Amino acid sequence: MFIIISGISSSGKNTVMQNLVNMRKNLKILQKSTVTTREPRDTDKNFNTYFYKSCEEFLEMVNNGEFVEHEEVHGNYYGILKSSLDKVVNDKEFDYIRDIDVKGNLSIKKYLNGKCPVVSIFLDAPDEILEERLRLRGDTEEQIKIRLSRKDFERSHKKYYDLVIENIDLNKTLKQINKFLDTKRSSF
C-alpha cells in the first residue's frame, strides 16, 4: 500500500509521517523519491527524502521522462521519480508513505492504478495555526506569505482525498489515521 500525505504548508505532514512510521512496524517513508531545486533546510538533515538538483539538472530529468509528475511550487521545482514508485509496487513486505502535493496526488494515483493500493490523506489546520507553525519553524514573513499563498488552491483539492483531517491535536490525528489505515488494510 502507498499512502499519500498532502496538505497546506505547516499542516504537519512530516511530523505525522514520522510518528506513523514509529507506530507502524510495516511502514516506511519512501526515501529519496522526490527531486527538488529548493535549498536544503536544517531539518532536512534528520528527515531527508529529497535529491537536490540545480534547475538545469531538473529540467534535463524532465526531458528524459524520469518523473511521474513535476511542478513548480513556492518558486522551486519538485518531481516524483518513476523509479521510486516502481520500488513500492515491487515491495510486498512494507507499506510506504510520502508527502505529495495536491497535483501529485492525482498523478500518482493514476500511475499506480492497478499496480498497488493507494490511499490519500489531506491535512489542514486553521490559518492562524498554520502561520504560527511557520514562524516557529523560522520562516521569514516573505516565506510565510509564499507558503500560504497556495492554501485556497490546495484546499480546493480536498475532494480528491480518501481522508481529510484538521490537524490541531497530533494524538487525535494519529489515532484517526491509524484507524483509517487499519480499515483500508483489511479491505485489500
Q: Where are the domains of the chain?
A: 2-187
CATH class label, 2-187: alpha beta
> Are the beta carbons of 108 and 4 closer than 8 angstroms?
yes
Confidence of residue 29 (pLDDT cuts 50, 70, 90): confident
pLDDT higher than threshold 90 for residue 30: no
pLDDT at 169: 97
pLDDT at 44: 65
How distant is the alpha carbon of residue 137 from its chain centre?
A: 18
CA dist 98 and 55 (Å) reads 23
pLDDT for 148-173, tens place per residue? 999 999 999 999 999 999 999 999 99
Amino acid letter at 144? I
pLDDT at 75: 87
Sheet holding 27-29, edge to edge: 27-29, 95-99, 2-7, 118-124, 163-166
> Are the beta carbons of 68 and 111 closer than 8 angstroms?
yes
Say if pTM beats, i.e. exceeds, 0.85. Answer: yes
Confidence of residue 47 (pLDDT cuts 50, 70, 90): low
Q: Give the chain's mean pLDDT.
A: 92
| Residue 181 CB contacts under 8 Å (≥ 6 apart), including other chains | 3, 20, 24, 119
- Rg of the chain over all Cα atoms, to the nearest angstrom: 16
28-37, 41-50, 176-185: least confident range: 41-50
What is the DSSP pairing of strand 163-166 with strand 34-36?
unpaired
